Structure 1
Amino acid sequence: MIEAAKIWNEPNNKSHWDISLDPDWTRFAELAIAAGKAIRSAHPTLTRVLGGISPIDPGFMRTMQMRGVLDHADAVAVHGFPLDWNLWQIDQWPSKLAEIRAEVALPVWVTEVGASSFGAEQVQAWGLERTADLLIGRAPRIHWYSLYDLPSTWEATTRHREAEGSSYYRHFHMGLLREDGSPKQALKLYERYAPMIGLCQWFHFEDHRLQDAAGWMRRLGVRHLRTGLSWADSFRPDALAWFDRQMETLAEFDVTVTFCFTPEHRGIASHHTSPPLDANEFADFCAQMVERYCARTGAVPSPATPEPEGKPICAL
C-alpha cells in the first residue's frame, strides 16, 4: 500500500533542484503548494511529505513556512549522511532533528540516512548501529539508504561529478547488498532493525533488480519502503506499464512514493533538476499517480490492463 506521497527530493540541494534558476525557492514553493493541493484532492487522507532536505537547514524550513508550503504538507523530511558527505558528526543527529522541530509543528521524518562501505564494510556496519541508537524513537519514519549498491556502469543522479571528487564515488557503495546482490557485513545487522528502520531504494526505469529487491525485503522483514515515480520517466514509451509493474511488486510494503524530476522538455532549462515551466503540470502528474496507485478499490491492474477513458485505474 502507499502510505505517503513525497513532494520532490532534496529541493535545497543543487544536484536535485537548480537553485541558480530559483535562488529564493519561489518556484519550488509554487510547485510544492500545487502538488500538495492536487494530492489532497486526489486522496482525502494520504500523508503528504515535503521532500527530504539535504543539507538539514532550518532556514529553508522557515522559507517554506513563510511561503505557505507547510500548510499543504502533513510531515517534513530530512536526509543525513554524516559519515560520508555532511559536515557534522553522527552524534549530532538528535540536535539536527531538534533544529527542524523548532521551526515546524509537523512530524519530522528521516527519509534517507546511510553510511557507505567506501572505506570499509565495518564502517558501514558501525554507522548503521549508531544511527539506530540515535534515531529510533526520535523520528516516526526512518529509511536506510539503501538496499543495493549503485551499479558501477550507471551514473549517480548528480550534475557535479568533477566537483565532488572522491565523494562522488561514495554514491556507489551505500547498499547493504553489493552490485551483484551478495550481502555486506551490515545486512545481517540491519535485519535486527528492519521493523523499525525501513529502506529507501530508488528503482530506475525497467530496473532489473525489482523482483530480487522485493524478495530481499520480504526475507528481511521490511515494512516501510521509500521509492520514487519519476515525472521525467512518465514520458518514456510504455511508462505506465513499468509504473504498474513496479507498484504491483511493492504492494505488500508500506510505500512512501516520491514524485520528482522534471522532463527535459517541460523545464525552464533542459535538465531534470530544472523548475518546470508550469508547476500545475507536475501537480497533475502527482494527482494521476495517487489516483492510480492509492487504495480505493483494492484491485491491482496487470501491466496489460487498459486504462479506461477519463479517470485512471486505482491500483493498490
Structure 2
Amino acid sequence: MIEAVKLWNEPNNKSHWDFEIDKDWLIYSRMVRLAGQAVRSEHRSLPRVLGGMSPIDTSFLERMERQGALDEVDVVAVHGFPLDWNPWQIDEWPQRVAEVRAATRHPVWVTEAGVSSFGAEEVQEFGLRRTAELLLGRVDRVHWYSLYDLPKAWPATTRHREAEGSSYYRHFYMGLLREDGTPKRALRHFADYTPELGICQWFHFEDPRLEDAVAWLKKLGVRRLRTGLSWADSLRPGAEAWFDRQMHALEDFDVTLTCCFTPESCGVSPHHTSPPHRVEEFADFCARMTRRYAR
C-alpha cells in the first residue's frame, strides 16, 4: 500500500524541525542518510522522498546536497501555499518548480499545495483549479492539502499560534470539506483532476474521520494519498493496532507515507519538532514501518 516513504515533514520550517537546536541541519542530514539506508535495506525499489521544503528554498536543498542527505533519497519534495503564506503569486508555480529542478538531480514532487477558504470559498475554488492547471503534467506527483478542515478544537502545528493573526486561522480552513464533513464549493471540481491529482490528509491518533475520509476519497476518484505515521505516537499504548487500522483502511490507495515527529523522551528538547538524541532510532522506526506496510 506504500508507494513511497517520506523522511520528515518540512524540515526547513521551524514549526516542524527545531533548527535553532540543529542550526546547520547536520543532525537532520545524518538522520536522512541513515533513514534512507534503512528504508532501502527493507525495500530495494521503494522511492525515498526528502521532507517537503516549506518555504521552497534552493539554498536549503544545496545544503542537503553538500551534507550528503540527497545521497540516500530518490525524490525531492516541495510545499507551496501562495494564496495564503508564501510571498509569491500562484502563477509562479512553474518557475518555483523549475528553480528546484535546476538545483538537484532528483525528480521533484509537490506533496502539499493548497488554498484556504478562510477569506472566501470562491478563493479556494479558484486556487484549486489554477493549481491543477499549473502543476498537473509538470511534476510526477501533486497532492492537494487537504480533504478536511482542521477541527477548531485541535491546535495547528505552528510556532506562534494566535499571535500570527489571520495566518494562524487559515490553517483551519484548508479542507475541501468543513469540519462537520459538509462540502465546500471547491469540492465539486476536484474529481475533474483525479486520479492525476492526489490528496494529502493527516490522520491524528485514533482519528474518528478515517472511514468517512476513505469513502470520500473513493467517491472523488483519488488514487494517490499522502499521509503520515508518527514516531511519537508509536510509543503510545495501542499504537500498533491504530497504525494497522489506519493503513488497512488506506490499502486501496497508493500511499506516500511520511515518517516524522520525535517522541518527547527521545528529543534533545521534549518536543515533537526536536532533533532526536539518537538518529538511529528514527531510522529504525522508518525501517519498521516499511517492513510492515510496503507491498
- TM norm. shorter chain > 0.5: yes
Instruction: Work out the percentage of aligned pairs sharing the same amino acid.
Output: 66
Gaps of 5+ in 2: none
CA shift, 1:28, in A, is 0.6
Contact 2:91 2:134 in 1 (8 A): yes
Q: Which amino acid aligns with 2:218?
A: R
CA shift, 1:162, in A, is 3.9
Contact 2:79 2:112 in 1 (8 A): yes
Partner of 1:221: 221
Using the alignment, how far apart are the partners of 1:177 and 1:162 within structure 2? 23
Partner of 1:144: 144
SS, match of residue 193 in structure 1: coil
- 5 Å-filtered alignment, 1:60-139, equals 60-139=60-139
Using the alignment, how far apart are the partners of 1:243 and 1:190 within structure 2? 28
Partner of 1:31: 31
Residue deviations 1:101-160 (CA, integer Å, cap 9, x gap):
111011000000000000000000000010011101111000000000001111111232
Q: Give the root-mean-square deviation of aligned CA atoms.
A: 0.6
Partner of 1:188: 188
Using the alignment, how far apart are the partners of 2:214 and 2:68 within structure 1? 38
Stretch deviating more after TM superposition (241-250 or 95-104): 95-104
Using the alignment, how far apart are the partners of 2:202 and 2:185 within structure 1? 22
Residue deviations 1:193-252 (CA, integer Å, cap 9, x gap):
121110000000000000000000011100000000000000000000000000000000
Stretch deviating more after TM superposition (167-176 or 155-164): 155-164
Q: Which amino acid aligns with 2:252?
A: E
SS, match of residue 192 in structure 2: helix
Matched, 1:179 2:179: yes
Partner of 2:232: 232
Using the alignment, how far apart are the partners of 1:98 and 1:73 within structure 2? 19
Partner of 2:13: 13
CA shift, 1:96, in A, is 0.4
- 5 Å-filtered alignment, 1:257-272, equals 257-272=257-272
SS, match of residue 132 in structure 1: helix
CA shift, 1:191, in A, is 1.1
Q: Which amino acid aligns with 2:176?
A: L
Using the alignment, how far apart are the partners of 2:166 and 2:220 within structure 1? 31
Contact 2:162 2:169 in 1 (8 A): no
SS, match of residue 229 in structure 1: strand
Using the alignment, how far apart are the partners of 1:30 and 1:71 within structure 2? 11
Q: Which amino acid aligns with 1:185?
A: R
SS, match of residue 100 in structure 1: helix
Using the alignment, how far apart are the partners of 2:125 and 2:228 within structure 1? 26
Using the alignment, how far apart are the partners of 1:197 and 1:153 within structure 2? 29
Partner of 1:282: 282
Residue deviations 1:15-66 (CA, integer Å, cap 9, x gap):
0000100111101101111110000011111010001000000000000111
SS, match of residue 103 in structure 2: coil
Using the alignment, how far apart are the partners of 1:30 and 1:289 within structure 2? 19
TM-score after normalising by structure 1: 0.93
Using the alignment, how far apart are the partners of 1:60 and 1:218 within structure 2? 36
Q: Which amino acid aligns with 1:93?
A: W
Partner of 1:306: none
SS, match of residue 176 in structure 1: coil
CA shift, 1:163, in A, is 3.7
Using the alignment, how far apart are the partners of 1:56 and 1:158 within structure 2? 17
Matched, 1:157 2:157: yes
Q: Which amino acid aligns with 1:232?
A: A
SS, match of residue 21 in structure 1: coil
CA shift, 1:173, in A, is 0.2
TM-score after normalising by structure 2: 0.99
Count of residues in Structure 1 that have an aligned counterpart in Structure 2: 295
Partner of 1:43: 43
Q: Which amino acid aligns with 2:102?
A: A
Matched, 1:201 2:178: no
Gaps of 5+ in 1: 296-316
Using the alignment, how far apart are the partners of 1:159 and 1:283 within structure 2? 26
Q: Which amino acid aligns with 1:178?
A: R
